[in-house]
Amino acid sequence: MPEFRIEVAHDIAGCAATVALQEETWSGDVIVPPQLMLAVVHNGGFVACGYAAEDPVPAGFVFGFLGIHDYHFRHHSHMLAVRDPYRGSGLAQQLKEAQRDHCLDQGIEIVAWTMDPLEARNARFNFGKLGAYTRTYHRDFYGAMPDKLNQGLPSDRIYVEWPIGHDRTYKRLRGEDRAPALEDAEREGIAYLLRADGDRPGSSGGSRAAPRSSAPSAKATPPWSSSARPMAEARTCSCPNLVPGMRGQSPCEKQVKASRGRSPCET
């Protein structure tokens, strides 16, 4: 396993170092200009690159900015990427921990971001490894996205919240807290989850666990009306931190998207 050096960006060179990796990961259409990143850094935001020894090109980076949500300051993490050869190396977690430390120093206790709900790897990373949770599902959050990975698909996003000051998060990052199993979620009455069957969505957990009697039918019109809705659908067993008691149908029309590989998660 390679060792990484985390370099926090304080100048334009540090911010510009992310550009090639942004392009490689998402294509040039969704690039955040380094000048904007630097302005963000000068106003409480955070940019850091991770470098492997003797490799001058960043192996990964993270970028986020200061925000306000429900009257409280929080950090919105807009981008996280690790170059293909370095995936599975622990660098992604190291970058998130550097971001966490920056935020804790500022007295901020929640880091949030949006995640493509059909990205099983990102779900495993966010919920299973980081110990984040979600309560909100945004339909077509960014509207049409022109980049190579999102073109022609609705940009549905889960809003992920990471309680960085919480003891459970601390323990999860140290491997001292187990991510809840799908069975735990099903016991809570979440009957709509789909089990992955290799690379394909598997059968619904509906036959295994009856929904709570107080929960409305999965086919009922949702009672909420804004575009920000409570979490209502998920594709695989990789999101064990869904809020119990909510329900919905699987996004069958988008299952084709699930097999396509990467997409921006924190954009």
Ligand X SMILES: CC(C)(COP(=O)(O)OP(=O)(O)OC[C@H]1O[C@@H](n2cnc3c(N)ncnc32)[C@H](O)[C@@H]1OP(=O)(O)O)[C@@H](O)C(=O)NCCC(=O)NCCS
Q: Shortest gap between Cβ of 238 and ligand X (angstroms)? A: 5
Q: How many CB atoms lie within 10 A of CB 43?
A: 9
**Applying CB under 6 A, does 195 fall inside the site for ligand X?**
no
Alpha helices in the chain, H assignment, sequence order: 12-16, 19-26, 34-41, 91-105, 120-123, 167-173, 182-187, 255-258
Q: Which of 87, 135, 208, 229 binds ligand X (CB under 6 A)?
A: 87
Q: Is 82 in the site for ligand X (CB under 6 A)?
A: yes
Q: What angle do CA 15, 80, 154 make, to 5 degrees?
A: 120
Which stretch, 50-58, 200-208, 213-221, 259-267, contacts ligand X (CB under 6 A)? Answer: 259-267
CB 134 within 8 A of CB 251: no
Q: Does 93 bind ligand X (CB under 6 A)?
A: yes
Q: Which of 4, 63, 125, 137 binds ligand X (CB under 6 A)?
A: 125
Per the listing, tokens 């993490």 go with 77
Nearer to ligand X, 41 or 112 (CB): 112
> Under rule CB under 6 A, which residues in 18-47 are in contact with ligand X?
25
Taking the complex as a whole, how short is the minimal distance between the CB of residue 19 and ligand X, in angstroms? 15
Amino acid at the residue 157: R
Integer Cα distance of 107 and 129 in angstroms? 23
- Closer to ligand X at the Cβ: 7 or 147? 147
Q: Is position 88 an interface residue for ligand X (rule: CB under 6 A)?
A: yes
Please give the C-alpha separations between residue 12 and each of 39, 51, 55, in angstroms, as whole numbers: 9, 17, 20
Only segment of 66-74, 122-130, 182-190, 251-259 that touches ligand X (CB under 6 A): 122-130
- Residue 11 or 59: the one with the smaller Cβ distance to ligand X is 59
Residue 129 in the binding site for ligand X (CB under 6 A): yes
Q: Cβ(75)–Cβ(111) under 8 Å?
A: yes
- Identify the CA nearest to 265 among candidates 131, 120, 80: 80
Residues that bind ligand X (CB under 6 A): 25, 80-82, 87-88, 90, 92-93, 115, 120-122, 124-126, 129, 238, 262, 264-266
